[in-house]
Homo-oligomer: A and B are copies of this chain.
Amino acid sequence: MSTPQTLTVELGERSYPIHVGAGLLSRPDLIRPYLRGDRLLVVTNTVVAPLYLDRLLSTLHGLKVDSVVLPDGEAHKTLDTCQRVYDRLLDKRFDRKCTLIALGGGVIGDLTGFVAATYQRGVDFIQVPTTLLAQVDSSVGGKTGVNHPLGKNMIGAFHQPRCVLADTDTLHTLPDREIKAGLAEIIKYGLIRDSDFLQWLRDSMPELLNLEREALTRAILVSCRIKAEVVAADEREGGLRAILNLGHTFGHAIETATGYGVWLHGEAVGAGMLMAAWMSRDLGWLSDSEYDLAENILHGAGLPARPPAGISPNRFMELMAVDKKAEAGRLRLILLQGLGNAVVSDAFDPASLERTLDHFTGGH
């Protein structure tokens, strides 16, 4: 049994550890210290349950554990699905000292976290993210929530987990596209805050794509550390935290234009980051060699080099303007002033945005 590496997210009395490593699903010692009572509800989905639910349940042997298996997919990240979890909790008379365990990807994590935030006005929860994206994204920040037909994540709450177990073994059953989508998020942390990490990512891309445990563990830990630093400085989303959305405004436009789920979120963000980098170079904020490095890494991770064909610049503008970051009518974008230094700006030359959209959509 290898020793997991641990990052503590410092949030005063709500501080919690993120354990990263192989075989963590079989480690009751990493879960038990965080239980206030002995009643647990594992929330998972129809894809993850056959793979990992039994292992987790046997790890929790001796505790009073129920589980609920939800349908898989973003389409089920709704209040209606929450209702099924509330039903189970009440039907089985879970009290306020219970703990929910989210076993799955981002949808399961966000939804379970939201139910935990709102069941009897807040109970504990533990995250066991089983996708690379969830391991580096949902593990930090306390964002929980579900979708509304008129917008993603429109209903939610801030609620911190008691601990996070990121078991790199679970990535071996993850489809290749989802590994790459997770790498997009990891690359993002380098782009916004840490150029050394970015260099390391370029050099380690083969090992990462090969799912080598040591490289994965480091990539996940550094990503979580960077996200935690940004979030700690801005827990409730005043300003700095917005840099975590690098590539997201372009990316959301892609996701909306193609219909959610056609492109993975990470794929859309990957293309969006390239667009943000291109625009940053166009503005003179990135050098050619910096842009080339960014492009090189995104390409090396197998991420799309441009948006799908058929989205006109005008359509892009339209979709970006309704993005929730477009407060009070001004479009704010996350751009790069050097690698490892993202900024939030609404003070860019609009012509540069037009050139960027033309470049990436022009021939298509």
Q: Which residues of B contact A145 (CB under 8 A)?
A: 118, 121
Would A155 and B122 count as touching, CB distance under 8 A?
no
Would B97 and A150 count as touching, CB distance under 8 A?
no
Contact with B along A111-135 (1 / 0, CB 8 A): 0001001111110000000000000
A261, B122: Cα distance in complex, Å: 27
Q: Chain B interface: which of A4-12, A83-91, A212-220?
A: A83-91
A324, B156: Cα distance in complex, Å: 25
Which residue of B82, B97, B119, B236 is within 8 Å of A154 (Cβ)? B119
Would A121 and B86 count as touching, CB distance under 8 A?
no
Would A91 and B154 count as touching, CB distance under 8 A?
no
Q: Which residues of B contact A193 (CB under 8 A)?
A: none
Which residue of B79, B121, B153 is within 8 Å of A158 (Cβ)? B121
A148 at the interface (CB under 8 A from B): yes
Q: Which residues of B contact A96 (CB under 8 A)?
A: 324, 327
Which residue of B87, B91, B95 is within 8 Å of A324 (Cβ)? B95
Which residue of B87, B90, B157 is within 8 Å of A122 (Cβ)? B157
Say whether, besides A79-B83, A155-B86, A91 and B150 are in contact (CB < 8 Å). Answer: yes
A82, B156: Cα distance in complex, Å: 13
Would B120 and A90 count as touching, CB distance under 8 A?
no
Would B155 and A118 count as touching, CB distance under 8 A?
yes
User: Nearest chain B CB to A263's CB is how many angstroms away?
Assistant: 23
Interface magnitude class on chain A: 20 to 34
User: Nearest chain B CB to A319's CB is how many angstroms away?
Assistant: 14
Would B158 and A90 count as touching, CB distance under 8 A?
no
Say whether, besides A327-B95, A327-B97, A118 and B156 are in contact (CB < 8 Å). Answer: yes
A328, B38: Cα distance in complex, Å: 11
Q: Which of A84-109 contact B (CB under 8 A)?
A: 86-87, 90-91, 95-97
User: Nearest chain B CB to A346's CB is how many angstroms away?
Assistant: 15
Say whether, besides A156-B121, A157-B121, A157-B157, A148 and B95 are in contact (CB < 8 Å). Answer: no
A50, B328: Cα distance in complex, Å: 33
Q: Which residue of B lies closest to A142 (CB)?
A: B121
A151 at the interface (CB under 8 A from B): yes
A143 at the interface (CB under 8 A from B): yes
Which residue of B82, B97, B156 is within 8 Å of A120 (Cβ)? B156
A346, B133: Cα distance in complex, Å: 48
Say whether, besides A91-B150, A327-B95, A117 and B86 are in contact (CB < 8 Å). Answer: no
Would B86 and A148 count as touching, CB distance under 8 A?
yes
Q: Which residues of B contact A121 (CB under 8 A)?
A: 143, 145, 153, 156-158
Say whether, besides A79-B83, A95-B324, A97-B327, A148 and B118 are in contact (CB < 8 Å). Answer: no
A91, B148: Cα distance in complex, Å: 11
Would B327 and A90 count as touching, CB distance under 8 A?
no
Q: Which of A242-266 contact B (CB under 8 A)?
A: none
Q: Which residue of B lies closest to A151 (CB)?
A: B90
Would A120 and B327 count as touching, CB distance under 8 A?
no
8 pairs from A and B in contact (CB 8 Å cutoff): A79-B82, A79-B83, A86-B148, A90-B154, A97-B327, A114-B118, A118-B118, A121-B153
5 closest Cβ pairs, A-B complex? A90-B150, A121-B156, A118-B155, A118-B157, A90-B148
Given contacts A86-B154, A95-B324, 7 further A-B contacts (CB under 8 A): A96-B324, A118-B156, A118-B157, A120-B156, A121-B153, A121-B157, A121-B158
